[in-house]
Amino acid sequence: MQQGAGTAAYAVPPGEFAGARGSVLRPVRRLEILAHFSGAFDIAEQQQPGHAARVAYLAQEVARRLGFGAEERRRLLAVGLLHDSGVAVRHDGGHLVAGAWVAERFGFDAAVGEAILATHERWDGRGRPNALADTAISLDGLLVGAAHWACEFADSAMSPLRARAQLQNSSIRDVEPLAGPEVAAALSSALHDDETWLAMWDDDLPRLVAQTAVGEGRPSHRALEQAARAMGEVVDAASREPGRAARVSMLARELAATLGLPAAYCDAIAIAGHVMDVGLLGVPRHITDKPSILTVDEMELMRCHPGVSARLIERAPGLSDVAEWVAAHHERPDGRGYPEMLSEEQLPIAPRVLTVADAYYALRAERPYREAFSEDETMVMIELGAGRQFDPRIVEALPEALEAVHDAVREAASGADAAS
């Protein structure tokens, strides 16, 4: 689509985004970005971000002691980061089956999903879901299960130092029923290593985890886009609204293009559209599913999600500015938005674009407390909000951007029909 075809170009203020006139998004490796995104799975379990990364890092240290090769360790890293990702997803098969589904969304092969299914099995046959025993259990599953056991104990302790002392005092025989003698001995060795323990509590742990993914290949923009899209699909699965993040992302990109923003800026806005609601994974489902008006306390918790989303991604490679946009996607030009009630002068272009794209699809969707609005009703409501809730320039660009989205969808459907 030609940028700015129907709307005057919307200039990017100098310094708003360092890369707006060039390459914005940094190429990444898949495991590198997943290490940073994994905190979203932790908050879905009502844990502090860092648990999945700790499990993955400790599992790597155990694997190194067991002589795993580079390819085996890369696979294990994915299993560790995703081991409980299925908790975020509503799936009839339970969270382990859901975790295998999440792994597939991130582009990992069947071996990763199979290992995730085995992470709650036990060497002594008293695990779940299949009560497998000893060598019938995937070694990756046993190893990540053992790392999860140690990290869960540490996360629940009063302090990491006390947890370490208690874990070190545990006999290898105490761990053998869980993971078998070989893994138990390697885990004990790792837990006695000072560098391993310090790294597990490092504030920059996701980066340290990513550094263990030796030989994953060259970084790429595609890896970032795929990971962002997968993260959006996880959020959609949690809210039972499949495809919503992708639709918001596509409309946000087309809005930005219609406004004449640089192509690289449009790409970054599209990434933000996929990940801006990851913070909702930490909101209890009895609130997100509530069919009636939220209480004041419930509303305050909901209104925290933009900031939570931003904190989850702000240290991911090249996404610090995108995180700022995500944090502001419920702000308003009239200063009555949340969470910071930013003024119009404080509100960058990108979150204004995201706000309109998000609002359009929110109004078009059914909610527990109302029916979906029609296309005409939605457009009227957005137009009425111009100048207060929405930037008028972006509202003006909406019909043209929607037509571009519809054209792209029709073209994709036509291509799929031709291929079949």
Give the model confidence (pLDDT) of 341-383 as tens digits. 999 999 999 999 999 999 999 999 988 778 999 999 999 999 9
pLDDT band at 7 (very low <50, low <70, confident <90, very high): low
Please calculate the CA angle 405-407-411 and round it to the nearest 5 degrees: 120
- Is residue 24, in this structure, part of any structural domain at all? no
pLDDT band at 214 (very low <50, low <70, confident <90, very high): confident
**CB-based contacts of 90: which residues, under 8 Å, 6+ apart?**
98, 237, 238, 240
Residues 251 and 153 in one domain: no
Neighbouring CB atoms inside 10 A of 395's CB total 21
User: pLDDT higher for 156 or 418?
Assistant: 156
Q: What is the predicted pLDDT for the residue at 9?
A: 55
Residues 169 and 289 in one domain: no
Q: What is the predicted pLDDT for the residue at 385?
A: 98
Q: What is the CATH number of the domain that holds 76?
A: 1.10.3210.10
**Nearest to residue 358, comparing CAs of 314, 334, 390, 322?**
390
Q: What is the predicted pLDDT for the residue at 20?
A: 43
Q: What is the predicted pLDDT for the residue at 420?
A: 62
pLDDT tens-place string over residues 315-335: 998 898 999 999 999 999 999
- 26: its two tokens: 């940094």
pLDDT tens-place string over residues 380-404: 999 999 999 999 999 999 999 999 9
Residue after which a domain boundary falls, among 169, 193, 211 = 211
Residues 282 and 194 in one domain: no
Residues 49 and 67 in one domain: yes
- How many domains in the chain? 2
Residues 45 and 75 in one domain: yes
Residues 192 and 286 in one domain: no
Cα-Cα-Cα-Cα dihedral sign, residues 202, 203, 205, 207: negative
**Nearest to residue 327, comparing CAs of 351, 293, 363, 295?**
351
Residues 73 and 97 in one domain: yes
- Is residue 258, in this structure, part of any structural domain at all? yes
User: pLDDT higher for 58 or 93?
Assistant: 58
Neighbouring CB atoms inside 10 A of 412's CB total 10
Residues 207 and 225 in one domain: no
Q: What is the predicted pLDDT for the residue at 92?
A: 76
Residues 173 and 263 in one domain: no
Residues 230 and 254 in one domain: yes
- Is residue 154, in this structure, part of any structural domain at all? yes
User: Contact at 8 Å (CB) between 176 and 123?
Assistant: yes
Residues 233 and 193 in one domain: no
pLDDT band at 410 (very low <50, low <70, confident <90, very high): confident
Euclidean distance between CA atoms 390 and 383, whole angstroms: 8
**Domain coverage including residue 48:** 30-211
pLDDT band at 212 (very low <50, low <70, confident <90, very high): confident
Q: What is the predicted pLDDT for the residue at 413?
A: 76
pLDDT band at 416 (very low <50, low <70, confident <90, very high): low
